[in-house]
Amino acid sequence: MGSTTLVFGASGQLGQCLQHVAKERNLTNLVFLPEDQANILNVEALQAVFAQYQPAYIINCAAYTAVDKAEDEVDIARKVNRDGAENLARLCGEHGTTFIHISTDFVFAGTGNTPLLETDEATPISVYGLTKLEGEQVIPAHTSQYFILRTSWLYSEYAGNFVKTMLRFGREREEMKVIWDQAGTPTYAIDLAGCILTIIESQSQQYGIYHYSNEGLTSWYDFAVAIFELSNTPVRTLPIRTAEYPTKATRPAYSVMDKTKAKTQLGVAIPHWRDSLKVCLSRLEA
């Protein structure tokens, strides 16, 4: 067993953030696998990679995340989000590798109004949410050494995300309509990457499911208002209800997650979402 950590889905937003934070922390034992080596549906390729690196950890950032498209592409969403997770979990079990898997607040229906605990019942209301939950559920059959991190509203300087989209629209338009009746918490993907790498650096064995987002709660509308305000983007922002902006997949109306477990058992400090947004915007400006 080496000390190597393999990252699957390395070219996506979280993968790029992991590269950034690993560099900041001077961590040289992370291998960011190219797509041809890291297809989580190609069992033979995965076996070869595990045999080559004998990883101590793997981080699975690979996922089917097109929430609306998943309603029509159920099979491919399930293959990636469930079968891919199972392929990795099986190999982790065989090699004694610790599995760090990224999941989502979409495993919840979002019908309540109190912050969600890891032990709360997961009853997804979209294909994306369902296939991500199925991915969580297949892991324990193959390994007990796993961390499942559910996160929400991910953004950063990298890849496409809500913050970058709002900044672009803000430059192009005078007025924006944004949903105000969905509450959650934005997560700066750099902070999530930091949490993941802290698990590895501390060699934590507090296995299980964790919630990780930034602190606080907000709506998409208030998030957009903060983005425009902090970036000095003059755009009129109007609140609309979810019903006025129909999408193929239903989103949770309230998906604020309780992070007490992550703070106490993993020992991570979690910044407030506005503070992290300021950091991201200043980096985007630079």
Annotated catalytic sites, by residue? 128
- 147 CA to centre of own chain: 13
Q: How far is CA 57 from CA 37, 86, 97, 201, in A?
A: 17, 16, 5, 11
Cα separation, 123 vs 203, in Å, equals 32
Cα separation, 43 vs 41, whole angstroms: 6
The residues pairing with 101 across neighbouring beta strands, listed in sequence order, are 60, 148
Name the token pair of 144: 């007990």
C-alpha span between 259 and 244 (Å, rounded): 32
Q: Reduced to 3 states, what is the DSSP secondary structure of residue 85?
A: helix
User: Which of 21, 240, 201 shows the shortest CA–CA distance to 100?
Assistant: 201
Helix axes of 220-230 and 273-285: crossing angle, nearest 10 degrees? 40
* DSSP category for residue 242: G
**Cα 16 → chain centroid:** 12
Q: Cα separation of 190 and 35, whole Å? A: 22
**What are the strands, taking DSSP E only, across 131-179?**
146-151, 154-155, 175-179
Type of residue numbered 99? F
